[in-house]
Structure 1
Amino acid sequence: MTGGASASRRESFEFNLFDVQYFKVMDSAEQFVVVQFGVCLFLWDSYRHCFAAHPHNFCAFPR
């Protein structure tokens, strides 16, 4: 929750135009620091006829 203390001016409202909402989200995203990211690999299981998911998380520490 590195960007949990975002300003109230970034709150989204239903009546916001798309461009206003985009810039609010972009401004809020700039306040976050990436501390973890994830990748999920999907492999087809021909025996069970379904996909098997293999999620992996990686820690990334700020400089």
Structure 2
Amino acid sequence: TSGENGNYVKDIPIGRISKIKILDYDSSLSIELEPVIDFLRLENVLVVDQKNLNDKPPLAKN
């Protein structure tokens, strides 16, 4: 990860590039990744809802 968009911490490997495709209709690339983890061995998962990344938690009421 690059950390450029702020969604992921920089320098944490998430996968290895297995395929690169140049898109004829766009100035982008399509990439396929092989995950660096074995999903069958996961014990804990953190799910981040991107639409709420910038939301502040509610203030505690006294």
TM-score, normalising length: structure 2: 0.27
Structure number with higher helix proportion: 1
Which has the larger Rg?
1
TM-score, normalising length: structure 1: 0.26
